Amino acid sequence: MRAHEIDFKIVGDDIQLVEIELDPQETVIAEAGAMLYMEDGITFDTKLGDGSTPNQGIMGKLLSAGSRLLTGESIFMTHFTNSGYAKRKVAFAAPYPGKIIPINLLESGGQIIVQKDGFLCAAMGTKISVTLNRRIGAGLLGGEGFILQKLEGDGKAFVHAGGTIIEKRLNNETLRIDTGCIVAYEPQIDFDIETSGSLKSMVFGGEGLFLATLRGTGRVWLQSMPIRKLIQRLSPMGGNVRKESRSILGNFLED
């Protein structure tokens, strides 16, 4: 099924929304609860699955929806359709401060791998499924876990992430990244986990025990503020514990 050709506009700076303009009978799919506003003429329906395979039987839809539970998402997706006779708009907002990334799946070979809670919305015809990290070490220690989302199709998809977004293009290169800061990457990129250095570096360096490693040729998207880091900093003890630990370690090393 070919994806609907939707037009869009990203609005805002630190807390963004994406405004989708639909022609008559065009549809956009989104995570349940992501809609911010919609104009008159837009109708919506909550369904099992993404609608990319309209002839799929009820068991197939249940299996597809059930797999979404593994990512912590709702088993339902909301389909927004322009049922009027003129262009109409519907907007979706990210659930926490950050940026929204528009990705043309056709430019990424028809497929992209996304962190498990990163999908926001996409053109009708986009297939959203669960994929497992091929390496057990990367799955258990990588900050994003075993379970990732795979977006497939030939249309536009929108991914959200925390803080500032950085797009890197690797050309047979290796990039080492703080675990949890990976938002999405093209499927030909190899994702693994490595130790962050010597024992002293791992214990006193403040960068954690492991780093994510991306190798190959293709695009990757990184976030400067994963939601887990934001929660840690906002927690009553999070900031103080880290500052005290650093000062104690600093004094110890100076002595």
Predicted confidence (pLDDT) per residue in 80-103, tens digit: 999 999 999 999 998 888 899 999
Q: What is the pLDDT of residue 95?
A: 82
Place of tokens 């008559």: 24
pLDDT at 232: 66
Question: What's the rounded mean pLDDT across residues 127-150?
Answer: 64
Higher pLDDT pick, 178 / 252: 178
Q: Using an 8 Å Cβ cutoff, are 104 and 156 in contact?
A: yes
Nearest to residue 65, comparing CAs of 73, 195, 119, 45?
73
- State what percent of residues in the chain have pLDDT above 90: 42
pTM: 0.79
Closest CA to 225 of 163, 167, 179, 176: 163
Give 185-216 pLDDT, tens digit per residue.
999 999 887 765 544 444 444 444 677 889 99
Residue in the structure block whose two tokens are 């963004």: 16
More confidently predicted of 52 and 145: 52
Question: In what helix (H) or strand (E) does residue 29 lie, and over which residues does it extend?
Answer: strand 27-31
Looking at 3.40.50.150, 3.60.160.10, 3.40.50.300, 3.40.640.10, the CATH number of the domain 7-224 comes to: 3.60.160.10
Q: What is the mean pLDDT of residues 36-64?
A: 74
Are 142 and 134 within 8 A, CB to CB?
no
pLDDT, tens only, 157-178? 999 998 889 999 999 999 988 8
